[in-house]
Copies of this chain bind each other. A is one copy, B any other.
């Protein structure tokens, strides 16, 4: 996969490696800024996940932050203050015209982060160190979340005077069972620990440190990458469709989807391997 990964070498803020077959590891790579996001960063973030989604060599993705200090500290506030519609410059002569610029700005930002959710391959997100504000918006777009014990989480936006608008408020309540907890952390902006994130089901497991969490994520990704991509990606698609729809609609879509997925070579290959006890191999998807 080395040659493939070469095609990811042009990103400035996203470091992509392939520590195992069919596994891509994306690191938000701006450690001196605690991996904070300026517009250039989120545009790249969107692009890298679009590419990963279409790359038939990739079957599972791990996301983490570069460096020891932060997953990401969220929005790069100083950049936001000097560029774009939040800087207070330009953007229209009346509130309606400024609103149009702001809608465009927020919409673009949302789209870039949502690319990770739309990525057709499973994405495992490793949270560690500082994980504030946008960190939660991003994590909500992953499929599985793991955390290092030292992670400091917060839905921080209220403390800088705004309601979180890149996805946390739309997605977190559907990810975590306790609405009381969701509302509390979103409205108070208070920190919460990895242990608390585990208890409410936001993350699936807490590991001793970042290294341990990354290793666990890569291990899970490697196992996923060995399985039928028709089965794994179909599972992601159907869970995603079902989240926002009624059971009846989800069942019908499932039947239509599987009416062709079951014609893949993966089903007989996987069934055969059950009897032969050999690991099956599956074609690219």
Contact = CB atoms under 8 A, between A and B. Distances in A.
Contact of A201 (B178, B243, B268): B178
Give the secondary structure class of A's interface.
helix
Nearest to A163: B234
Interface stretch (A37-45, A62-70, A128-136, A183-191): A183-191
A238 interface: yes
Contact of A162 (B162, B248, B261): B261
Query: How many protomers of this protein does the assembly include?
Result: 6
Contact of A204 (B81, B122, B178, B224): B178
A158 B231 contact: yes
B159 A250 contact: no
Interface string A97-111: 111101110110010
A194 interface: no
Given A144-B180, A177-B201, A263-B98, A169 B254 contact: yes
A181 interface: yes
A264 B170 contact: no
A235 B201 contact: no
Interface in A258-285: 258-271, 274, 280, 282-285
B231 A161 contact: yes
Given A122-B187, A231-B158, A255-B106, A96 B220 contact: no
28 contacts: A94-B283, A95-B95, A95-B260, A95-B263, A96-B263, A97-B284, A98-B259, A99-B261, A102-B255, A106-B254, A142-B180, A143-B184, A144-B184, A158-B228, A159-B231, A160-B271, A161-B228, A161-B269, A161-B280, A162-B258, A163-B257, A164-B235, A169-B250, A173-B242, A175-B179, A176-B178, A178-B200, A179-B201
